[in-house]
Amino acid sequence: MEKPKFFNHTLAELTTAIKGLGKEGFRAQQLYRWVHQLGVQDFDKMTNFSKEFRKEVPEMFDFCLPEILKVHKSVDGTTKILFNVGAGKSVEAVLIPSTDRLTICLSSEVGCNMACKFCYTGKQKLQRKLETWEIVGQFVQAARLLEPGQRISNIVFMGMGEPLDNPDAVFKSIEILHSEWGLNVSRKRVTVSTSGIVPLIPRVTEAGVRLAVSLNGVNDKIRSEVMPINKRWPLEQLLQACREHCEATGDKVTFEYVLLKGVTDSLQDARDLHDLTRTVPCKINIIPFNEHPESGFTRPAEQDIVRFQNELIRLGSHVLRRKTMGRDIYAACGQLTTAVKKSPEPQLTL
């Protein structure tokens, strides 16, 4: 019989499972701490367990993690990690350093059904949703690559897949990564980014994590062309859900806005974007498009990007432009792929 996977368990579930095996419940906390917090998987090192229990632990659970296939390190410190998820498929996580944080971008699905036109992952239909242990496992494996003293401080669900298309596994993985007996990542340092699955935005609110929304269009016509999900949940419904999230949490929403030449980058678009978002407490991240084959879009000229940003600033929007990093590795937002060989030219925008 297949053993239950350790990294699928919240602490409460592990406690129940351990009690069910006739052991004291507090052993779950100890085991969680050894494995998640201290990164120990050599059971002989778990010195507060009896010899008998040390032998029993590996018989109770499967401690498997997604296998690392490749690690690509950029000259700027950005690291992309490619994981084998079986059946010849892979997913990617990206470690992104900055002065005050180390962020990991996690994948939630193999491929994606949302079909956003600018996104390379969206061209690869959904093949399967990742299980909780595969999401937690990306974090755990990445943490094991770090130098002593380094720690992943922030998590963004902006890798492959639409996280709200796989909500149970995503929110359970957040609970596991947040556990004080585990990795203790603050909920306020976790961001779930959605293309706009409106009915599930309240789950982001309930989870107490930050919300990012991929906007990429200033009216329903343009947004529906760029992001087909808009036909199902148009802008007004999406913005109303964002307002409700802000009211309930006191947080700001981050709107991601990809600049596509001739589609979303005019001065009028900047003005419309300001008007559209000004009733939502928010900041706007503008992301100059990273070109890749088959996308059909191009990146605006630098002066047009600056002009767009300056117009938003002039109007009073809180706007940031993502810094481009990791040019020498395959790691761009919206450019991740299920098959390594097909990866387009690398760029990572932050």
Interaction site with ligand SF4 (CB under 6 A): 112, 114-116, 119, 121-122, 160-162, 195, 214, 334
Complex with ligand SF4: residue 6 or 118, whichever CB lies closer:
118
How would DSSP label each residue in 123-161? GS---EEPPHHHHHHHHHHHHTTSPTT----EEEE-SSS
Q: Which residue is nearest to ligand SF4 (CB)?
A: 122
Active site annotation includes 112: no
**β-pairing, 109-110 with 128-129?**
antiparallel
Min dist CB 226 to ligand SF4, Å, is 10
**Residues forming a β-bridge with 210:** 191
Active-site entry in 52, 56, 92, 180: 92
Measured from the CB atom, is 115 or 146 closer to ligand SF4?
A: 115
Residue 247 is among the residues annotated as catalytic for this protein? no
**Cβ at position 12, least distance to ligand SF4 in Å:** 31
Q: How far apart are CA 63 and CA 43, in angstroms?
A: 11
Rounded Cα distance between 211 and 34, Å, is 31
Stated as kind and residue range, the H or E segment containing 194 is strand 190-194
CB nearer ligand SF4, residue 214 or residue 295: 214
Catalytic residue among 105, 112, 282, 333: 333
Q: Report, in Å, the least distance between residue 258 CB and ligand SF4.
A: 9
Residues with Cβ within 8 Å of 146's Cβ and at least 6 positions away in sequence, in order, are: 102, 152
If the CB atoms of residues 137 and 334 are measured against ligand SF4, the closer one turns out to be 334
Helices marked H in the chain — which ranges? Answer: 11-20, 26-32, 51-60, 132-143, 167-178, 201-207, 220-226, 229-232, 235-249, 267-277, 302-315
Residues assigned a catalytic role: 92, 333
